[in-house]
Amino acid sequence: MPRTSSPVRAHCRALWIAAALLPGAAFAAAPPAAAAPAVLAWEAGDTPAALEGWVKQRLQRADAAVARLLAVKGARSVDNTLAVYDEAYDALYDAQAQSSVLYGVGATKELRDKAQALTQSASAALTALNLNPEVYRALAAVPAPADAGVRHYLEHTLLEYRLAGVDKDAATRARIKALQDKITERGLAFERAVHDDVRSISVDQSQLGGLPQDFLDSHKPDASGKVKITTDPPDAYPALKFADNEDLRHRLWLVDHQVAYPANTDNLRGLLEARHELAHVLGFATWADFAMADQMIGSPAKLKEFLKQVDTATREPGAREDAALLAFVQQKNPAIQKIPAADARYWQEQYRRAKFNFDSQSVRPYFPYPAVERGVLDTAGRLFHVQIKPVAGLKTWHPSVTTYEVFDGSRKLGTIYLDMHPREGKDKWFSTSALNQGVEGRQLPRGALVCNFPGGIAADPGLMQYGDVVVFLHEFGHLMHHIIGGQHRFAGQGAFNIEGDFVEAPSQMLEEFFHDYGVLSTFARHYQTQQVLPRELYERMTRADTYPRSSDQLRQLMYATASLNYHSADPAQLNFDAVWKEAFERYNSTAYNPGDHFWASFTHLNGYSSNYYTYVLDKVIALDFFAQFDPHKLIGLPTGMRYRHTVLAPGATRPAGALVHDFLGRDMSLEAYRKWLLAEFEPSATASSSAR
């Protein structure tokens, strides 16, 4: 398993869990044993004590497995060593994964606090396992297994042990553990500061021009005629995109880009310092060198080469987009020489409307949340040849969570949990979590989506931006990867154990299906009239969606570059604002705002650390994958099944590069990506129907 991150939330907003020494405090007493042991944390009860008892059981199970593994006399084998190691890993994975989920979604502050502490404890135990020299020696003594997937798992595990520093002396290993401890603790504190810091502005009702009606309906003025707009995505995103009032946009953008600032200055400093020192202890020049050593990309030098290729592909079309936007804005206001960063989304939306005769609000009535949910599940089901059926009666962490089972014919593949709307105290982002891994014949994989889409409250139809629908597909791509790729002999062969810089490929691949009318017309219906999304409106939307493709990619390069730079130097010398500003100005034509401290709420710095590039690399791979499908019949031809078998089903039984090569029949290429960028202002190549 990855030594630098847990695969627990290998996705959009992965929690970078490394580890810690177990806190000295003893666990509270476990609750009285129930008739059947709870498989999931929330089945044990919804109190902090119940969670603690449940986690303790997993840690004890792992300890027992390690003791059994070390007690083996005679020849080492897969059965008496690797299988027992996997049991320990599986128990700790569950403890860490589910604590981590409850830390984001737990119903009470007390529960979230406890879940935060327990995430750290479980991480500590995982680190201890992966630094245990006796376990390492036992695994190293297992003869090469005949099964290629098992052999890969064993070899990869041994590699991770070596990279983790298992061969260092006892004092160095203790230092490594202490640093891992600090990394986990600072990382959690960094994320927590973001979760807990919802800012808002108060505006006059008269300033709400341009905002959609349902936004106005859910933002009624108080007694003094003021309306509150928060930095939560369902509030801030539409406001920054649609509000005609410049003052509103500027104030909201500024508070949004100051979330967790200055609180996270110390958290980030502590996090980066611990990472930097750990990299040194392990023999790497920087954290970035360390974090890329076991990834597809291999090293920061190779990454820079790759980023340069993407930069070359993106720069010129991006500059054309930016020039066109500026010319458009200057027609309205000749005094503007540079568009303020706070206005970028607004002007892009205005330009898109004018250029493509498309108002993104016009499609929102066709995307009410409940219908979109059914549509995404149905599309994934048809594409991957699985059946996704609602299941009642499962205990969850909150009454609003819905549950489904995934089947392949009569064979059940796993269970999924959807927690899709914002609520007080809940994680603000969009992520996929593996709740547990699959182990053939013993347990099926379970996964959860934690999102913040509109809807979920009475009287709100939950009209989604079309970009929300794309995010939904993205997250569902992760979920399908986890479920379909979690059908192996060992937990450690599950999909999220694959190289971290491959995990965003299956998710971004599924995003592309949004652009197909055959797919969309199965569920995009007007929430009042039930009319299907008109083809003509779809075509304008698809054309408009090609803008601003290149500047969006440049923004991804900005995040990738900033993430790399935060992890490529001695953190004591880093000026966080300066690093951010440099990346911003390199990849944006809008004006940098000195009040911009976005890095303080950029939780990917915890989750992905230096490896944000994953999104760009995987976009290139995802588009290459998608280009293998027949644009005239995306669903229903053998390609979907071939993709499922070649890319998703292997989970982590093979290196990611081999999966890519197998599906494409060659190494990946930037060709499909370049074509996609240059599809600018043209209808999508996939603007065709696919048979249901």
What number of chain residues touch Zn ion (CB under 5 A)?
Answer: 4
The full length of the chain comes to: 692
Q: What are the tokens at 3?
A: 């030594």
443-474 residues labelled b (16+ CB within 10 A) or e (exposed): bbbbbbbbbbbbbbeeebbbbbbbebbbbbbb
Indicate whether 406 belongs to the interface with Zn ion (CB under 5 A): no
Minimum CB distance to Zn ion smaller for 11 or for 241? 11
Minimum CB distance to Zn ion smaller for 9 or for 446? 9
Indicate whether 11 belongs to the interface with Zn ion (CB under 5 A): yes
Minimum CB distance to Zn ion smaller for 485 or for 571? 485
Give CA separation, 213 vs 190, 252, 367, 582, in Å.
Answer: 36, 19, 15, 39
- Three-state DSSP at 440 gives coil
Task: Return d(Cα 526, Cα 461) in angstroms, integer.
Answer: 11
Minimum CB distance to Zn ion smaller for 11 or for 199? 11
Task: Return d(Cα 275, Cα 541) in angstroms, integer.
Answer: 44
Are 435 and 494 contacting, i.e. CB atoms less than 8 angstroms apart? no
Minimum CB distance to Zn ion smaller for 321 or for 504? 504
Q: What are the tokens at 80?
A: 């008496």
Indicate whether 194 belongs to the interface with Zn ion (CB under 5 A): no
| Smallest distance, Zn ion to C-beta of residue 274, A | 26
| Smallest distance, Zn ion to C-beta of residue 312, A | 25
Task: Name the one range near Zn ion by CB under 5 A: 253-261, 291-299, 507-515, 533-541.
Answer: 507-515
Minimum CB distance to Zn ion smaller for 348 or for 507? 507
Within a 10 A sphere around the Cβ of 575, how many other Cβ atoms? Answer: 9
| Smallest distance, Zn ion to C-beta of residue 296, A | 16
Indicate whether 507 belongs to the interface with Zn ion (CB under 5 A): yes
Minimum CB distance to Zn ion smaller for 3 or for 478? 478
**Strand ranges (DSSP E) for 176-234?**
200-204, 226-230
| Smallest distance, Zn ion to C-beta of residue 361, A | 26
| Smallest distance, Zn ion to C-beta of residue 603, A | 13
User: Bridge partners of 389?
Assistant: 405
| Smallest distance, Zn ion to C-beta of residue 690, A | 24
Q: Which residues contact 247 (CB under 8 A, 6 or more apart)?
A: 207
Task: Name the one range near Zn ion by CB under 5 A: 11-19, 156-164, 263-271, 379-387.
Answer: 11-19
Minimum CB distance to Zn ion smaller for 356 or for 430? 430
| Smallest distance, Zn ion to C-beta of residue 239, A | 25
The contact mask relative to Zn ion for 215-244 (x = CB under 5 A, - = no) is ------------------------------
| Smallest distance, Zn ion to C-beta of residue 377, A | 18
By CB under 5 A, name the one of 10, 12, 17, 533 that touches Zn ion. 12
Task: Name the one range near Zn ion by CB under 5 A: 6-14, 349-357, 571-579, 623-631.
Answer: 6-14
Minimum CB distance to Zn ion smaller for 366 or for 476? 476
| Smallest distance, Zn ion to C-beta of residue 144, A | 34
Task: Return d(Cα 413, Cα 440) in angstroms, integer.
Answer: 10
Minimum CB distance to Zn ion smaller for 12 or for 668? 12
Q: Does residue 45 come out as left (phi exceeding 0), alpha (psi in the -120 to 50 range) or beta?
A: left
Task: Name the one range near Zn ion by CB under 5 A: 30-38, 132-140, 502-510, 517-525.
Answer: 502-510
| Smallest distance, Zn ion to C-beta of residue 507, A | 4
Whether the upstream peptide bond of residue 548 has omega within 30° of 0, thus cis, is yes
Q: Closest Cα partner for 271 from 527, 596, 591, 576?
A: 576
Within a 10 A sphere around the Cβ of 326, how many other Cβ atoms? Answer: 18
Q: Which residues contact 332 (CB under 8 A, 6 or more apart)?
A: none
- 3-state SS string over 616-638? HHHHHHHHHHHCCCCCCCCCCCH
Indicate whether 182 belongs to the interface with Zn ion (CB under 5 A): no
Which residue number is nearest to Zn ion in terms of Cβ? Answer: 12
Task: Name the one range near Zn ion by CB under 5 A: 214-222, 294-302, 421-429, 500-508.
Answer: 500-508
Task: Name the one range near Zn ion by CB under 5 A: 306-314, 406-414, 497-505, 645-653.
Answer: 497-505
Extract long-range pairs of 46-50: CB within 8 Å, 24+ residues apart. 46/107, 46/111, 46/397, 47/111, 48/110, 48/111, 48/113, 48/114
The single-letter DSSP state of residue 646 is I
| Smallest distance, Zn ion to C-beta of residue 474, A | 6
Q: What are the tokens at 19?
A: 């580890």
Task: Name the one range near Zn ion by CB under 5 A: 12-20, 85-93, 251-259, 323-331.
Answer: 12-20
The single-letter DSSP state of residue 668 is -
- The binding site for Zn ion (CB under 5 A) comprises 11-12, 504, 507
